A and B are shown apart, each in its own frame.
Chain A
Amino acid sequence: RKEVEQDPGPFNVPEGATVAFNCTYSNSASQSFFWYRQDCRKEPKLLMSVYSSGNEDGRFTAQLNRASQYISLLIRDSKLSDSATYLCVVNDWNKIIFGKGTRLHILP
């Protein structure tokens, strides 16, 4: 099993829709979790941390399921500007592991 796995997509979603994608991780001892966003030909940027209790930031909700070893990102009322690649990041104590990303296209 790969350390961090994501569906590469692309997810083609109409504007205004809700979209969700998951990321699985292999190390049950992983400590912390994040979602990053990467626009085309740009650097990755932190979108949000993921907490065990789940957390929201505006239209974005992140969840962690330790029992099944996955994290999720839900985007509500999607905007054209949400089109990007979303990278899942898992921290072990001394290691930072990036997923390969899920591409999201929001369609007008």
Chain B
Amino acid sequence: NAGVTQTPKFQVLKTGQSMTLQCAQDMNHNSMYWYRQDPGMGLRLIYYSASEGTTDKGEVPNGYNVSRLNKREFSLRLESAAPSQTSVYFCASNAKTGAKNIQYFGAGTRLSVL
């Protein structure tokens, strides 16, 4: 019953440090997503991967890179963290039936950049 698993749950970085957020899903979904959520801004899409081996930019990709390592795993990397990247990050995977896309989210990573 794991669903979508994100690690770490919390992280504090100094400006300029790098880190990778990990995400794995065990539902055999093709599509995976990374969002950030800030107060008053709602969920904003950073990157997504429609299938293994493909990645595409979302609404706010600057400052981030992603890797779709295999069907299960989709990681998000901050190469040089900035205070503006302080946020809650959610990974999601997608079950698609026709036009119906249902997203399943991980528990989130709370990141603070000082």
List the one stretch of A15-23, A60-68, A92-100 in contact with chain B. A92-100
Contact of A43 among B41, B94, B106 (CB under 8 A): B106
Mark each residue of chain A from 7 to 36: 1 if its CB lies under 8 Å from any CB of chain B, else 0: 010000000000000000000000110100
Instruction: Tell me the nearest residue of chain A to B91, going by C-beta.
Output: A43
B14-22, B67-75, B79-87, B95-103: which one contacts chain A?
A: B95-103
- The answer to whether A43 and B99 touch across the interface, beta carbons within 8 angstroms, is no
In the assembled complex, which residues on chain B have CB atoms less than 8 Å from the CB atom of A42? 107-108
Q: How far is the CA of A63 from the CA of B105 in the complex (A)?
A: 24
Cβ contacts under 8 Å, A59 to chain B: none
Beta-carbon contact of A96 and B103 below 8 Å:
yes
Give the residue name and chain of the A residue nearest to B4 (CB).
Answer: A43
Instruction: Report the separation of the CA atoms of residues A32 and B90 in the bound assembly, to the nearest whole angstrom.
Output: 22
Query: Which residues of B31-71 are within 8 A (CB) of A?
Result: 33, 40-43
Closest chain-B Cβ to A85's Cβ sits at a distance in Å of 10
Asked if A31 and B100 make an inter-chain contact with CB atoms under 8 angstroms apart, the answer reads: yes
The one of B42, B99, B105 in contact with A100, judged by C-beta atoms closer than 8 angstroms, is B42
Nearest CB on A from B6, distance (A): 9
A46 / chain B contacts, CB cutoff of 8 Å:
102-104
| Residue of B41, B94, B102, B107 ringed by the most chain A CB atoms within 10 A | B102
Most chain B CB within a 10 A radius of its CB, from A8, A32, A87: A32
B105 proximity list for chain A (CB < 8 A): 43-45
Task: Give, as a whole number of angstroms, the nearest-CB distance from A57 to chain B.
Answer: 15
- Supply 6 A–B pairs (Cβ within 8 Å), ascending by A: A43-B108, A44-B43, A87-B42, A91-B99, A93-B99, A96-B94
Chain A interface residues (CB < 8 Å from chain B): 8, 31-32, 34, 41-46, 49, 87, 89, 91, 93, 96, 98-101
